[in-house]
Each structure stands twice: as C-alpha cells, then as structure tokens.
Amino acid sequence: MTRYASLIWTILLISGITSPNFGATFYSETVEREIPVDIVMPSVPKETARDIVIYLKGLAEPRAGQVPDATLIGELTRAGMGVIVVDYEGAANAISPWINSDLLNLRQHVSELSAPHLINSDRVYILPAGYRLARDIEFYRDDRKTYRMDVRYPALKQTADTAKVPLIIQIPHNNDARMNMNSIVKFRDSLLEGLMTCGYAVAVVAHPVAPPYNGIDPMPESIYKLKSAVRTLRAESPRFGYDPSKIGVLGFSRGSGMAGLLAATGTAADLEGDGLHPEQSSAIQAVLCQAGRFDHRTLLEDGFSPKKFEQYIAHFGDPILSADRWDAPSTVNWITDKAPPFFLIVGGDDSYRVPQSRKLHEALLAVGAKHPYIIEEGQSHQVTENPQNIAAIRTFFDRVLKGEDP
C-alpha cells in the first residue's frame, strides 16, 4: 500500500467507507506501462449500483484545484459514489492529447476495474485531481420535464487573486436524458475530459427532444434550452470559480449543429426564450463544430437520406414555402463578422456532412473569419482520435480562452 493510499484509507475508515482495493493496476497506452489504481467504494448495499468517478492523479499539467485529494475523495464517497484513483506519477505526457486514448480505455473498462461492485453506467465521470463534481444543476424546465446538467471544476480557494479557469460546454449528440455511458463508448469521445487535464472547467448540457424524435431538433425550443444553460452557467460562475467571460462550446453530429447555432446567434433577442437567468448573456467565445448539419435546406442535395428529409418536411413544411422555418436552425444563415472563433472538423468519408461543413467554412470566409478547418481523410462519422488534431483543438481553445500563443 502506498503512503498516499494509506492516508486516504485512514481518513475514509474514520468516515465509515468500505475498504479500498489497493494493488490494482491499469495498463496505460500513454506511458506504456502498468500504473497504480486504488478503488474506494462507499458503504452501500451490495446490490446497489454505484455512480463512479475515475480520479486522475499525477498529471503533467500543474494542478488546477487547491483542495487536497483526501478531502475531495471523501466528499465523493460520502455522496455514495465509488472512486477509482489512477496515479500517473507525474508522467510528462499525462495530458491531452497523449492521455486521450487512456481516457477512452478507462471508461470502457470501468466495470472491470470496479468488479465485483455494481456500477451505474449512466453516471461515470472522469475528474483530474483537485476537481469537484456538481450534479443535476437545473438549467431549463418546460411542461414535460426539468432539464439538468453536471459541472466539473477545479476546487479553488476563492481569493481576490485566484486565477479563474475557462469553461467548456459539451452539447451531446444523442437524444438521451444525459450523455450516458453507452453513447460515450459507441462514439469514443474523449475531448471534454482531455481538456480537463489542461485545466478547463467543463459542463455537459443535454437537450433531449420528446418522441417522436426523428433526428430533428425543434426550433426555437432547442436553442431556448441551450441559451438558458449558458446563462445559468454564467450565473453560477461565482459558485464554481470559472471565468464567465471565457466560455467555449464543442459538439459532434447533432450536438455540432446546435453548437454552431448557439455560437452564431450570439444574443439574438428573439432566440433567448423564457429560460432561467434572463439577466445573463448567452453569448459564447469559441466553438468546435464536428460533423454537423449547418444548412438544412441543402441537406438533400448534399446526400442526406430522402426518407429522413421527408421527416424534416413533415416538421418544417415545404422548403420553399416555409423557408423561414428551415433557415432558423441553419448556422450558415446566422454567420456575421461578429461571430466568435470557429474550429471545423469533419471526416472525409462522412457523406453529406462534408459539403455541409464546407458551406459553413465558406460562410465564415465570406465575413472574413479565419478559422481552423480540418478534413480527416479516410474517416467517417466519428469524433477525432488523431493526436495531432486533438492537439490542434487544445491549441485553439488555449489561444482563444486562455490567451496563450501557439
């Protein structure tokens, strides 16, 4: 048992937490060796499925949080969560983009690492050491349900000279109540957690649509939800300690189209809706759009499924007679020279999304907005796993939100 593990166990034993599983290891592709893993489980009935936090120690980036690990892990276990502590022991490449493959593997093998304990696969989180997790923050409500989000942020001791960190919001691509484990595994997405290893606070903002969904984000209610989420996160910034003037957004597929729309519409008054915190701004400062739909009226000519296009017609009406309804959710129609910085990326084999991304690229160029634009040759519809492109994404957010030179 390591000295660190012994200290954690002593503190948790006093708190009534069950014995950790010391001595486990995880093979890290990042450092190319086995690294230590400690499993700390709360005292709950054996048949209870536990929410899980994968807690990353010894990362390369200087620690963003200022609260001791023992305190933070104790908070998690007292909340009924199991904690898997993975120690990188200060490895120089334990940071995005090199650590991203490990983040994927840790999530996909979390059941094995947690065995024999049952886990709740819809509630698996990754936290760098020094981070806190705030769950179920309400950001919108309608006649169907209340919408909530999770926020992960460095645990800072709030002082006048505390350096606030930027915030990254992810808009999920699925239509579930939250970004669940199955969806994450299927699409192999590690960008958000990778950015946390670089000192960003993060939030996941889902905006599920009532049945029948049919792949359509109804307007304007979908953008109402997202703008309400941004305003709520700004209002909550004193509580969580991130910088409300430095908010970036990323999205893939369905989430990409909505991320682009959120960025391009700025503070358009007719799209703010009736959500929470109307006194706050819904503007964001940077956006990553991965393989989305940005010009709905041209989807069919770009290779979109005719059957799915009929569902759009059923929802929006005739593309010519109801042009306004088609144009409202199309990012290209909102681009002006006041748009925040964009980063575009799409797989070269990703069917209609390639010309859709090109249209957004051209709309940005038309207003003089220079931006990174990557076509990943040979790739289809998936989040990038290319370390060079992940590094470019990090550089983009670091430049725009942290003011760092590449």
- Give the model confidence (pLDDT) of 66-123 as tens digits: 899 999 999 999 999 999 999 999 999 999 999 999 999 998 888 888 888 888 887 8
CATH class, domain 3-128, is alpha beta
Ranges of each domain in the chain: 3-128, 132-402
Mean pLDDT of 203-224: 82
If one compares 289 and 183, the residue with the highest pLDDT of the two is 289
Give me the chain's average pLDDT, please. Answer: 88
pLDDT given at position 42:
86
Tell me the mean pLDDT in the region 211-230.
Answer: 85
Question: Is 210 a residue whose pLDDT tops 80?
Answer: no
Q: Which DSSP helix (H) or strand (E) runs through 287? A: strand 286-290
d(CA 211, CA 177): 12
Q: Are 345 and 374 in contact (CB under 8 A)?
A: yes
In 3D space, the residue among 212, 214, 168, 225 whose CA is nearest the CA of residue 191 turns out to be 168
pLDDT of residue 144: 82
334-371 confidence digits (pLDDT tens): 999 999 999 999 999 999 999 999 999 999 999 999 99
- Has residue 13 got a pLDDT over 70? no
Per-residue pLDDT, averaged over 139-154, amounts to 92
Which distant-in-sequence residues (6+ apart) come within 8 Å of 148 by Cβ? 135, 136, 137, 138, 139, 178
Rounded CA-CA distance 334/123 in Å is: 36
pLDDT score for 162: 58
* CATH number, span 132-402: 3.40.50.1820
Average pLDDT (196-207) is: 93
pLDDT score for 216: 78
At 24 the pLDDT is 81
Q: pLDDT band at 242, cuts 50/70/90? A: very high
Q: Is residue 207 very low, low, confident or very high in pLDDT (cuts 50, 70, 90)?
A: confident
Whether the pLDDT of residue 228 is over 80: the answer is yes
Chain position carrying tokens 């069950």 = 18
- Predicted local confidence at residue 189, as pLDDT: 84
Of 71-85, 167-181, 272-286, 379-393, where does mean pLDDT reach its minimum? 167-181
Q: Which pLDDT band, with edges at 50, 70 and 90, does 188 fall under? A: low
User: Once rounded to an integer, what is the mean pLDDT over residues 269-278?
Assistant: 92
Q: Give the model confidence (pLDDT) of 322-332 as tens digits.
A: 999 999 889 99
pLDDT of 231 = 98
Q: Round to whole Å and give the CA distance between 74 and 76.
A: 5
pLDDT at 372: 98
Task: Report strand pairing: 242-252 vs 201-204.
Answer: unpaired
Distance CA 164, CA 295 (A): 36
Helical residues (DSSP H) of 273-386, grouped into ranges? 306-316, 323-327, 353-366
* pLDDT number for residue 113: 86
Domains 3-128 and 132-402 in one fold: yes
36 and 2 in contact (C-beta within 8 Å)?
Answer: yes
Q: Could you tell me which residue, 181 or 232, shows the higher pLDDT?
A: 232
Residue 27: per-residue pLDDT: 95
Give the per-residue pLDDT at 249.
98
Q: Could you give phi then psi for residue 56, rounded to 5 degrees?
A: -95, 115
Average pLDDT over residues 43-49: 79
pLDDT, tens only, 59-68: 999 899 989 9
Q: Is the dihedral of CA 97, 99, 102, 103 positive or negative?
A: negative
